């Protein structure tokens, strides 16, 4: 979307209602609306995969989906696209529930005039972007706080291990090729965790992490090396991805590094660190 063009996905199975909305959008003065009209939720989900949609205008009562489930499915499948609900007078309560669940606004059929529709769609996008920016700033601060806590953990935990390793060169300097390879492997496991969470795909990430802990232990990695490995991999995965996907990576990564730290501690408990 640019400042003068907005792409709208209209999900409406009533052709007369769709025609009225199209005519209202054509009267817009401040912006130009590009309209994509589909009649079913399944068609909307398919079209959203192609991208280039700025806002969704949807009737909750469709031939293949009814009620709040219509919004919930759209919101789940396309969390980065704001949604405006179209409703009848008798369904206004349902539309309010959709707004409480995450929709940006609702409009009542029969009361929609061109200026109102234009303003509702523009404001929906602006509000959504503002909320996203605030949420991203909050989560960025949270990520920084977590990384600082992990860094403190790497310094203060495992006193005996840290003492024996004092003065060791960081892995990224002592074995840079291995460090880069382990970072790539770690990124792959973040993807596995993401797939497991969203698509319920079974994967034995724990075995991979145990193997990684053994590799790290053999080269005498410190807790700080684990933090750096995690940070490098996570930064690579959340760069230039949608906000919702980045959040999943952060949440899953939090569990992965804690598990990896545990396996590495177990390795050091069962192996002597005094050997060269």
Tens of pLDDT, residues 119-172: 999 999 988 887 777 777 676 666 666 666 655 555 544 444 444 445 567 888
What does the alpha-carbon distance between residue 65 and residue 40 come to, in Å, rounded to a whole number?
Answer: 8
- Among residues 224, 246, 223, 226, the alpha carbon closest in space to that of 235 is found at 246
Tokens linked to 4: 């003068």
Residue reference for tokens 């230039």: 240
- Give tens-digit pLDDT for 49-78: 999 999 999 999 999 999 999 999 999 999
Q: Count Cβ atoms below 10 Å from residue 86 Cβ, excluding itself.
A: 24
Q: Which CATH superfamily is domain 5-128 in?
A: Response regulator (3.40.50.2300)
Question: 55 and 121 in contact (C-beta within 8 Å)?
Answer: yes
pLDDT at 276: 46
Mean pLDDT taken over the chain: 83
H-run or E-run covering 130: helix 114-156
Alpha-carbon distance of 76 to 53, in angstroms, equals 15
pLDDT digits (tens, 9 = 90+) for 234-275: 888 887 777 777 778 888 888 888 888 888 888 887 875 444
Q: Where are the domains of the chain?
A: 5-128, 157-270
- β 32-38/55-59 pair status: unpaired
């Amino acid at each position: 979307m640019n400042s003068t063009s907005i792409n709208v996905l209209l999900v409406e199975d009533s052709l007369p209602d769709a025609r009225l909305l199209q005519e209202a959008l054509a009267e817009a003065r401040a912006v130009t609306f590009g309209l994509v009209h589909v009649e079913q939720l399944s068609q909307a989900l398919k079209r959203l995969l192609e991208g280039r949609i700025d806002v969704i205008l949807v009737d909750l009562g469709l031939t293949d989906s009814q009620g709040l489930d219509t919004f919930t499915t759209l919101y789940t499948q396309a969390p980065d696209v704001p949604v405006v609900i179209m409703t009848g007078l008798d369904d206004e309560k349902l539309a309010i529930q959709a707004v409480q669940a995450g929709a940006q606004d609702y409009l009542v059929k029969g009361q929609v005039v061109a200026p109102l529709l234009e303003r509702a769609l523009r404001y929906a996008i602006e509000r959504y972007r503002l909320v996203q920016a605030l949420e991203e700033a909050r989560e960025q601060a949270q990520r920084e706080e977590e990384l600082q806590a992990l860094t403190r953990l790497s310094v203060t935990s495992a006193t005996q291990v840290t003492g024996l390793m004092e003065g060791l060169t960081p892995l990224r300097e002592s074995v840079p090729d291995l460090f880069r390879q382990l970072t790539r492997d770690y990124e792959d496991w973040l993807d596995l965790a993401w797939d497991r969470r969203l698509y319920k795909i079974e994967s034995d990430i724990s075995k991979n992490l145990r193997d990684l802990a053994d590799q790290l232990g053999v080269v005498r990695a410190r807790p700080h090396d684990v933090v750096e490995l995690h940070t490098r991999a996570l930064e690579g995965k959340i760069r230039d991805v949608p906000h919702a996907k980045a959040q999943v990576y952060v949440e899953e990564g939090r569990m992965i590094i804690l598990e990896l730290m545990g396996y590495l501690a177990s390795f050091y408990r069962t192996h002597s660190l005094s050997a060269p």
